[in-house]
Amino acid sequence: MMGELAALGAAICWSVAAILYKEALLKTKPISANIVRLSCTSAVLLIFLVVIGKFAVLTSLSAEVVFLACASGIIGLGFGDTLYMVSLKLIGVARAVPLTCIYPLFNLLWAVLLVGETVTLPVVLGAVTIVFGTWLLSQKKEADAADVQRKTLVKGMTAALITAIVWSVSITTMNMAVREAPDLDHALVINTVRAAAVSVFLLAFSPILDRELGFWKVKRKTVVALIAGGIVALGLGWFLFTYSFVETLESRAVPISSTTPLFSTLSGIVFLHEKVTAKNAVGSIMIVVGIFLIFMPPSVLRFL
């Protein structure tokens, strides 16, 4: 139960972080914002490890765990997030989000093939239900939706599908790292290594990725928003997600973590007084049902 709750907490953190990123991304390029976000957040996480006396745990990690954590960060936060931004730019939110949100389905496959988990039918049904509910919540009317050229549409959809696969590989790699060091302290340290690795990677290649070195020119208020979002998403959110792998199976944690659109929709309704559409309602209900199926203990399933 703790693992599933941790995955749910991660989804909530990512929803909050998205609000913090929204204004910041209006004032800077995505790559510049990502470099600032990851670099500053990594520094905060490393300082936090020293303050709480857990830095020594870092030196106890095996070379295999460090490699898996670094690979997960570079693959997911580096390549995956960049591809996601490309797909958003090419085909917009309405098309990109539903395609990228199918990553839990790939994780079910990796959980069986790479990690050797046994995936039950309710978990599969729950994952599919959550993915479809997320798709419904992601449907937005965009003025230029019909104006996307075929060539651009194919490129954008390809980028979105590859994003889903890349994210799923990154998550499974993270799970493999945590399985080698399964406790709370190691989950915290592994998450820090993951963020630090991709920040070093982006800084090293910044002359190529951010040719004008725009991350040096980001304004102070924007930096604060990016750091706050990074701490919430990469610090707390990804820590909870990493810890969920300690307490439960990847096949159960990943679908629950993909419910971020549900909390984003609820926040919009409660705080921004957005209208509730039929798709919002049905999508939200489906996500809740999917979470229920994954949370449902085996004893209840046998009774049913």
pLDDT bin (cut points 50, 70, 90) of residue 70 is very high
Phi-psi region of 116 (alpha: psi -120 to 50; beta: other; left: phi over 0): left
Domain segments of the chain as ranges:
2-296
Pairwise pLDDT comparison (89 vs 8), residue with the higher score: 8
CB atoms within 10 A of CB 159: 22
Question: CA 175, 200, 155: angle at the middle one, nearest 5?
Answer: 70
Q: What is the mean pLDDT of residues 26-48?
A: 85
CB atoms within 10 A of CB 220: 7
Is the pLDDT at 71 greater than 60, yes or no?
Answer: yes
> What confidence score (pLDDT) does residue 162 get?
92
pLDDT tens digits along 136-186: 776 655 444 445 577 787 888 888 889 889 999 998 898 888 887 677 888
Q: Which residue has the tokens 């070379």?
A: 63
Lowest mean pLDDT among 36-50, 160-174, 267-281: 267-281
CB atoms within 10 A of CB 76: 23
Quick check: pTM over 0.85?
Answer: no
Pairwise pLDDT comparison (185 vs 278), residue with the higher score: 185
pLDDT bin (cut points 50, 70, 90) of residue 19 is confident
- Neighbour-count burial for 228-244, b at 16+ CB within 10 Å, e otherwise: bbbbbbbbbbbbbbbbb
pLDDT bin (cut points 50, 70, 90) of residue 133 is confident
Is the pLDDT at 135 greater than 70, yes or no?
Answer: yes
**CB of 88 within 8 A of CB of 96?**
yes
Structure tokens at 119: 């995936």
Determine what percent of the chain is predicted with pLDDT higher than 90: 11
Please tell me the distance from the alpha carbon of residue 275 to that of residue 205, in angstroms, as a whole number: 44
Q: What is the pLDDT of the chain when averaged over all its residues?
A: 80
Q: Of 294, 292, 256, 255, which is closest to residue 105 (Cα–Cα)?
A: 255
Q: Of 3, 5, 6, which is closest to residue 237 (Cα–Cα)?
A: 6
Is the pLDDT at 128 greater than 80, yes or no?
Answer: yes
Question: CA 87, 267, 236: angle at the middle one, nearest 5?
Answer: 75
Pairwise pLDDT comparison (132 vs 236), residue with the higher score: 236
pLDDT tens digits along 222-253: 888 888 888 998 889 888 988 898 888 887 88
Helix intervals (H) in the chain:
2-26, 30-51, 55-59, 63-73, 81-100, 103-113, 121-137, 150-180, 184-204, 206-209, 220-230, 238-247, 250-257, 260-271, 278-295, 298-303
